[in-house]
Structure 1
């Protein structure tokens, strides 16, 4: 009875058995500290029957050190961890670590010291002290946080503490969150919204697994509609999880949520401070967090009593994690709902083809919102053929789009230009010797960012300043930017319309929730005339005065070897087009393209989503691609190119020869060098009936790789670089 089996949070270690000291209980799911040699490690008590281990005599077992004061991980979460590890061929410990993603939360209740103005004045007032006092009115936080708010050094604030101008306050880290009121401000739903909301409310009341695909055109009010089953879940005393694809979307969502429920939800994303993560984790685990809004990692938190899961913008590629445990949060959310026995809603205006297929075969229940809320009409779409309407030299906007921008400026309406390429230019070269600036750690060109005067690699994060002369030939004033990024489009717009108020919306400029909130406030307050952005602006933003969307290069997403390129391009362009005409004024979309007859471009022009999906579905069926077949990638990498190549050849030599399984490769990955590691790649295509995960595990296990070789498995890959 006192024997326990631990899943230790170290992927290199297998399950370990320990004993419990007399009088100590630790049911399955308990988080404990155990001795391992001279060290102490964190582990989770696991169901012994589900985690095979060695049978070691009881008297040889060491006792655990302590049971940590947190609720045990629920059985449904433990089953999800097992399923995710099995499906994505990941170590069980690596998946389990995501459930314990706040180390500080594992201790007991705690307090911390924060600071606030006391109302007094310093003996000697300086400009910095005055600025700090004015900026910190009504603020409370740590010295570091207040220094950031006030824009002064911590030393300035500590001096004010010593003089009593700023006073310490002891606060409980785990103080409760303000409760959400499900009846605070019920919306006035359209008949279509009411019908869909009623079906989802019935599912919440039934308290059983039920997957839904909420398919609504842009501007149809999907968020307001799924807020009603959220309200019903709150009334029932259960918890809600809402997944969003981007942190930048949270501020917009928070405002809408607070307006509906009278209080903000509990946030979970990578930008939270450690104390905020601790507070959120413990509230989630004890059940006091009613609604959690977060990025994909929120999916593995230990909810005490989950009642509903919503995945907003469910088509988004951002839900697929491409490092560590390579999982798709959209699909794992459905499995979590299944293990928890609760409804799950996948909401999108451009659902993934796999989701539509699941609805067509009856696995998901499809709910539709086919028209915009409040009588707003969908925008008119017009193609601009760049082979006929050629922009001028070193220009990227064709005459029809320039004229449309001018017309909106004259009317006082807002416009949006979309180009899914950050920075100023994707390539910089020397016109004297032809030298191209390349990342030293990746097989990728450095992207010029003129706002920061840097050359940057978008794959590994390497940055360097733009040199005054070519490092190859030494010639000065000879560097040329090739191709456009959003910064270059912004320069062109400023040249054309010097009076226009322009905002860049990219992950570089909206890299914190605060900056995103400021951008939204300016756009809603009509302080911006033209927004220029990347894929970030395709998601969830609602600006009633925005009546024109210009897609600068619709062909960009069709380049390269992405097997989902057409679907991704359709989704991005359709989503950004949906930002136009969401208010009372009609909207227009101009799509610049060199291939107006390409099926995806023609479908966008005709507004015929069903025809595009039908053609794409047939192509996938013919190729045995998802959802009709399965894909997986194996990536072998090493800091030594020869070692990586030899490992790939050895693995290729013992590839399984199985009916229904096709293995392509090995071949150098499109990004053959990434973060200083040389990469070789296999692509596996299998019938749905094949045991793909078993094939991959047995195949990889048949080779002993050199210590410097890493083997990565990506089941259902979205990235092919």
Structure 2
């Protein structure tokens, strides 16, 4: 009987987005299975693809044979079905969705050589190591064979790696060869797992749960399969301990768990705590690992040796069998939304994953998203509250400083008088403080005071940020860097002034005012290298006293009991962004960073510097009551049809040619207008806030639809069968989280 396989090709053109049928030769019948990487003919050249189904062909004429099977299956039918759902939901190619589930760096490629087409090996492969085992413990080497005698003595207690012998006795190769020839030792290879940083060292301290924590664990453990629990707990309420005890309960049931944190800055502390509790059962997956390290962690999960996977967004796609629990910590964070294809949201994919696998999803946050809060009000998810800190410590007192009054009173420095006094007090008592400024660099921009010239990026429609340590101007969008000019390029004036405040400037000001105080800066510059987050956090943790200056990566999840003071240098960043989530995000950020203070015996203080002291987000932080803010924001979104009362999609058009971008955007808008249902709304095409980025001119169209409506299939059908748009890039973003 002739069998055929549907093969999803690992190629770029959207015209080849769907699986193609290939015949299965008899010689490959036993090895062609769902998930297997295969080599197939595509026109006049070979291509790599993945088998997504096997069965009797509907049409046999013209089917070409699969050339070869390139390895064992890399995914199963369940994962392919979920990848297909992601492709439909987020209007992307199935291969882009499927790549989420493949082992990191494992995809084979085809390259043309002089002698024909050849497979390039994947960039990662299992690491092996040579071990030596003693077969004859009674053997006594000759007295003169000192190295042989040392080897035999070293192996009495068990096998050793060749590298260990080399470190202990020097080059062992000749002596090993002699012993192996006599049958005294055996040399063999075994798989070596590449080590991964264990995070910050932590002891496993199982605290007695508060009543609220115990009720939360019980609610999670007893939740019905496929359900969602929202863990709404104030900062310091012990959400991580609830997670760990829920994971422990799932493991005792013989099932497994995935725990997500929103960004790499949270990984060191969280991994340290989970590793202390679960040890070798833990696998870690995040973007700062090498391809080889991520490949090994993926394999640990696939083999079942690791029963708990923890990491950033991509850890959701680890090959975890018998999944019982998925935890998304800081579920409100926008970093759970992927910014490139496939533009999925981890929270929504996790809901679909637990539904299909009969697991439970826990969404945890001190400042839940409005979407999750609304879902709890409608009964779609169950909300469990942790209303107080686990230690019994009070929430920190919040002081708001009106910076317009500070300016009117003659204070021209970045530190208001209340913040400077609070820092003086903490430093005098050799305590610790955290200063938050949501902008890296030294100054936001440079301006000529004579003609008003501001240096802009040559490829992006944004101003350049001044970095003091490099004495250079940097674009934080494309990375373009140029030297700070000595004179204005437009008028020649020497009067170039630096405006705005960044982390480098705050650091410099602290060093100037308090020269003996240790200062640690945590931003994208200081943590750029591998292990940077662990190094910076460990430096602050081990300092007897000092100040941590950082961007939003210090604002959430970090637990330092000895932090007494949090100073928010500029609360207004992002407050008036052209984004319907601006108020919500401002509140979340301010509330989260405030929660770093006062987690232990000494009470905490928070000083918020702002030019908008009556802003709803600031008022909610001061009162500690978000109810008025939530009610107001939800009412406004209901009126305007924004999530959760409607769905959005963004279609972004970009091209090096401005005219091509404008023309393509108009054509796409017309196509959409003729394709979408009558109750959908189209806005645009218009120029987004950043009209040019990385050398590309940009236009976008916003689509608004009723809640619960699947946007992806309609957008995909409308936008992928149009005329070829030479030199134009098209991106579809369903449920976008930024529209700059």
The corresponding residue for 2:77 is: 75
Is 1:700 aligned with 2:719?
yes
With over 3 angstroms needed to count, the CA separation of the structure-2 counterparts of 1:40 and 1:695, relative to structure 1, is closer
Query: Can you list the C-alpha shifts for 1:224-279, whole angstroms capped at 9, x where unaligned?
Result: 11101211222333322111111121111122112223447211112212221221
The corresponding residue for 2:315 is: 298
Contact 1:74 1:304 in 2 (8 A): no
Task: Provide the C-alpha distance between the structure 1 equivalents of 2:33 and 2:717, rounded to a whole number of angstroms.
Answer: 33
Contact 2:564 2:605 in 1 (8 A): yes
The corresponding residue for 2:563 is: 546
Is 1:518 aligned with 2:535?
yes
Task: Provide the C-alpha distance between the structure 1 equivalents of 2:69 and 2:336, rounded to a whole number of angstroms.
Answer: 36
Contact 1:522 1:528 in 2 (8 A): no
Task: Provide the C-alpha distance between the structure 1 equivalents of 2:188 and 2:423, rounded to a whole number of angstroms.
Answer: 53
Query: Can you list the C-alpha shifts for 1:487-515, whole angstroms capped at 9, x where unaligned?
Result: 11222222322222211111221235622
With over 3 angstroms needed to count, the CA separation of the structure-2 counterparts of 1:707 and 1:368, relative to structure 1, is same
Task: Provide the C-alpha distance between the structure 1 equivalents of 2:338 and 2:642, rounded to a whole number of angstroms.
Answer: 20
Is 1:458 aligned with 2:460?
no
The DSSP-based 3-state class of the residue aligned with 1:60 is coil
Query: Can you list the C-alpha shifts for 1:641-690, whole angstroms capped at 9, x where unaligned?
Result: 11001111222334427432111111112111111111001111222265
Larger radius of gyration: 2
Task: Provide the C-alpha distance between the structure 2 equivalents of 1:486 and 1:175, rounded to a whole number of angstroms.
Answer: 35
Task: Provide the C-alpha distance between the structure 2 equivalents of 1:176 and 1:483, rounded to a whole number of angstroms.
Answer: 42
The DSSP-based 3-state class of the residue aligned with 1:314 is coil
Task: Provide the C-alpha distance between the structure 2 equivalents of 1:66 and 1:58, rounded to a whole number of angstroms.
Answer: 22
Find 1:61's aligned residue among 42, 59, 64.
Answer: 64
Task: Provide the C-alpha distance between the structure 2 equivalents of 1:452 and 1:169, rounded to a whole number of angstroms.
Answer: 51
Task: Provide the C-alpha distance between the structure 1 equivalents of 2:259 and 2:356, rounded to a whole number of angstroms.
Answer: 17
The corresponding residue for 1:34 is: 40
Give the C-alpha shift of residue 11 in structure 1: 4.4
Q: Which runs of 5+ in 2 are unaligned?
A: 109-121, 132-160, 175-186
Q: TM-score, normalised by structure 1?
A: 0.86
The DSSP-based 3-state class of the residue aligned with 1:713 is strand
Task: Provide the C-alpha distance between the structure 2 equivalents of 1:394 and 1:439, rounded to a whole number of angstroms.
Answer: 29
> Which region of structure 1 is more displaced relative to structure 2, 648-657 or 252-261?
648-657
The corresponding residue for 2:255 is: 238
The corresponding residue for 1:128 is: none
> Which region of structure 1 is more displaced relative to structure 2, 24-33 or 214-223?
24-33
Task: Provide the C-alpha distance between the structure 1 equivalents of 2:628 and 2:659, rounded to a whole number of angstroms.
Answer: 48
The DSSP-based 3-state class of the residue aligned with 1:321 is coil
The DSSP-based 3-state class of the residue aligned with 1:266 is strand
Q: Please list, as runs of the form range in 1=range in 2, the aligned pairs for 1:153-192 lying within 5 A after superposition.
A: 172-174=191-193, 186-192=206-212
Find 2:419's aligned residue among 386, 401, 410.
Answer: 401
The corresponding residue for 1:19 is: 23
Is 1:613 aligned with 2:630?
yes
Give the C-alpha shift of residue 109 in structure 1: 7.7
Query: Can you list the C-alpha shifts for 1:88-122, whole angstroms capped at 9, x where unaligned?
Result: 1111111112222523388898444699xxxxxxx
With over 3 angstroms needed to count, the CA separation of the structure-2 counterparts of 1:367 and 1:105, relative to structure 1, is farther
Is 1:91 aligned with 2:96?
no
With over 3 angstroms needed to count, the CA separation of the structure-2 counterparts of 1:690 and 1:111, relative to structure 1, is closer
Contact 2:103 2:295 in 1 (8 A): no
Q: Please list, as runs of the form range in 1=range in 2, the aligned pairs for 1:231-380 lying within 5 A after superposition.
A: 231-263=248-280, 265-380=282-397
The DSSP-based 3-state class of the residue aligned with 1:670 is coil
Q: Please list, as runs of the form range in 1=range in 2, the aligned pairs for 1:95-244 lying within 5 A after superposition.
A: 95-104=97-106, 110-112=126-128, 172-174=191-193, 186-203=206-223, 208-244=225-261
With over 3 angstroms needed to count, the CA separation of the structure-2 counterparts of 1:550 and 1:175, relative to structure 1, is closer
The corresponding residue for 1:153 is: none
Task: Provide the C-alpha distance between the structure 2 equivalents of 1:550 and 1:114, rounded to a whole number of angstroms.
Answer: 54
Give the C-alpha shift of residue 212 in structure 1: 1.1
With over 3 angstroms needed to count, the CA separation of the structure-2 counterparts of 1:178 and 1:508, relative to structure 1, is closer
The DSSP-based 3-state class of the residue aligned with 2:434 is strand
Find 2:687's aligned residue among 668, 686, 708.
Answer: 668
Contact 2:232 2:367 in 1 (8 A): yes
The corresponding residue for 1:3 is: 4
With over 3 angstroms needed to count, the CA separation of the structure-2 counterparts of 1:674 and 1:162, relative to structure 1, is farther
Task: Provide the C-alpha distance between the structure 2 equivalents of 1:531 and 1:590, rounded to a whole number of angstroms.
Answer: 15
Contact 2:274 2:282 in 1 (8 A): yes
Contact 2:656 2:697 in 1 (8 A): yes
Please, what is the CA RMSD of the aligned residues? 3.1
The corresponding residue for 1:122 is: none
Give the C-alpha shift of residue 29 in structure 1: 3.0
Find 2:438's aligned residue among 420, 439, 447.
Answer: 420
The corresponding residue for 1:641 is: 658
Contact 2:52 2:77 in 1 (8 A): no
Contact 1:317 1:718 in 2 (8 A): yes
Task: Provide the C-alpha distance between the structure 2 equivalents of 1:568 and 1:706, rounded to a whole number of angstroms.
Answer: 37
Is 1:435 aligned with 2:436?
no
Is 1:709 aligned with 2:728?
yes
Query: Can you list the C-alpha shifts for 1:22-47, whole angstroms capped at 9, x where unaligned?
Result: 24243333333333345443322224
Give the C-alpha shift of residue 430 in structure 1: 3.0
Q: TM-score, normalised by structure 2?
A: 0.84
Give the C-alpha shift of residue 161 in structure 1: 9.1
Query: Can you list the C-alpha shifts for 1:564-591, whole angstroms capped at 9, x where unaligned?
Result: 0000000000000000101111111111
The DSSP-based 3-state class of the residue aligned with 1:252 is helix
The DSSP-based 3-state class of the residue aligned with 2:406 is coil
The DSSP-based 3-state class of the residue aligned with 1:325 is coil
Task: Provide the C-alpha distance between the structure 1 equivalents of 2:347 and 2:23, rounded to a whole number of angstroms.
Answer: 39
> Which region of structure 1 is more displaced relative to structure 2, 288-297 or 636-645?
288-297
Q: Which runs of 5+ in 1 are unaligned?
A: 116-139, 143-156
With over 3 angstroms needed to count, the CA separation of the structure-2 counterparts of 1:177 and 1:422, relative to structure 1, is closer
Number of equivalenced pairs: 667
Contact 1:503 1:528 in 2 (8 A): no
> Which region of structure 1 is more displaced relative to structure 2, 671-680 or 240-249?
240-249
The DSSP-based 3-state class of the residue aligned with 1:591 is strand
Task: Provide the C-alpha distance between the structure 2 equivalents of 1:468 and 1:513, rounded to a whole number of angstroms.
Answer: 35
Task: Provide the C-alpha distance between the structure 2 equivalents of 1:433 and 1:318, rounded to a whole number of angstroms.
Answer: 39
Task: Provide the C-alpha distance between the structure 1 equivalents of 2:446 and 2:195, rounded to a whole number of angstroms.
Answer: 52
Is 1:688 aligned with 2:688?
no
The DSSP-based 3-state class of the residue aligned with 2:404 is coil
Contact 1:433 1:473 in 2 (8 A): yes
The DSSP-based 3-state class of the residue aligned with 1:714 is strand
Contact 1:383 1:590 in 2 (8 A): yes
> Which region of structure 1 is more displaced relative to structure 2, 622-631 or 254-263?
254-263
